[in-house]
Structure 1
Amino acid sequence: MERHLKDSEYKFTKEELRDFAIEKLKERGVELEDICEIIYILQKDYVKDLNLDICMHHLMRVLSKREVVNAILTGIEIDILAEKGLLSEPMLSVIRSDEGLYGIDEILPLSIVNIYGSIGLTNFGYLDKKKIGIIEKIDKAKDDTVNTFLDDIVAALAAASASRLAHSNKEKYGA
């Protein structure tokens, strides 16, 4: 999917950006179904007849927003650069160690969550602390993998999707 372009000769469509973001998530070990499982856990007590297809619908709608895919691609790129040692110090050490007081790894994903209001924000905080499902796996990954941004991005996607679902529940999962 990589393209080499001169200056601004080509602008990516929302769909292309979405596909890039989904591919990057997969390359980092995150399937959309993993995120849907978290959405389901967050909303199963509130939405009658909830299933993973409904969760996927809302996740795909979240992923249709350009600012969401830009946040995903930016965060993952920073993780990759840190893995490769391509950041300068002190940022390289801060990001590689996922330093607790860094906080930018939570701020970037908040741009995803803030699209869907306070429910998204509270869900994000909950997921950031509880590390449910794939978020825990990402957070605890060993070896030379850097997931400083990825775990928070996945939490934000689940939180935003759950919030979208909650807001549209009365609208029968539309729009």
Structure 2
Amino acid sequence: MQYATYENTVEKLERHHITIRAIADIAYNSEKAYLPNLSIEQVEEAVISILHKRVVQHQVWVALELDRLAEAHLLESPLQDLVESDDSLFGVDETLATAIAMSYDTIGVTNYGYIDKLKIGLVGELDRKGKTTSAVTTFADDIVGALAAAAASKVAHKYPTGILDSDKIN
């Protein structure tokens, strides 16, 4: 039995053109107003740390697999139709993403809601791709938003006073 690993998770994300840097960019832009000396590298460290959590790996795998199956028309109806069309009342994509964001307290959830509502960065690109092409990104856009929200929250928890130090984000 093969378990989820960080490397497998990054590989699956990259197959969907999702990079650590793109996730970090969203989180960085969410936090830079509060931490003017924040570096993108510090935020990338937060994303990497989050992607090392087994529960997050599992959530990412399930989400991306559901998109893949829907894109290949392998889900049974009515699930196929709901996922393929990214039906606004479906909500399972947001529920799965919220579970990732909740790893970092209520700030993670509010950050996720903000990112999801405004469709910031790669979240918006994936959302538009799912609406304008045959690609299915119903879960991918929400997973990216949740990972970015979790990273922004991790940074906020690390530096609650707004003062940065040279420590790595653990």
The TM-score normalised by the length of structure 2 is 0.91
Cα deviation for residue 150 of structure 1 reads: 0.4
Distance in 2 (alpha carbons) for counterparts of 1:64 and 1:20: 10
RMSD between aligned residues: 1.3
Which residues of 2 match residues 74-113 of structure 1 at below 5 A?
74-113=62-101
Q: Do structure 1's residue 154 and structure 2's residue 144 form an aligned pair?
A: yes
Judge conservation of contact 1:67–1:111 (CA < 8 Å) in 2: no
After TM superposition, the structure 1 = structure 2 runs for residues 54-73 of structure 1, keeping only pairs within 5 Å, are 54-73=42-61
Gaps of 5+ in 2: none
- Alignment correspondent of 2:13: 25
Contact 2:32/2:38 (<8 A) preserved: yes
Shift of 1:24: 1.0
Instruction: After the TM superposition, list the runs of 4 or more consecutive aligned residues in structure 1 that deviate by more than 3 angstroms.
Output: 170-174
Matches within 5 A, 1:30-45: 30-45=18-33
Identity %: 36
Q: May I ask how many residue pairs the two structures share in their alignment?
A: 163
Whether the 8 Å CA contact 1:75–1:108 is kept in 2: the answer is yes
CA shift, 1:174, in A, is 3.7
Q: 1:104 to 1:43 in 2, by over 3 A?
A: same
1:163 aligns with 2:153: yes
Q: Where do 5+ consecutive residues of structure 1 fail to align? A: 1-9
CA contact (8 A) 2:63 2:143 kept: yes
Structure-1 separation of matches of 2:153 and 2:54: 18
Shift of 1:155: 0.2
- The question of whether the paired residues in 1 share the 8 Å contact of 2:47 and 2:147 is answered with yes
Question: 1 CA distance for matches of 2:85 and 2:91?
Answer: 12
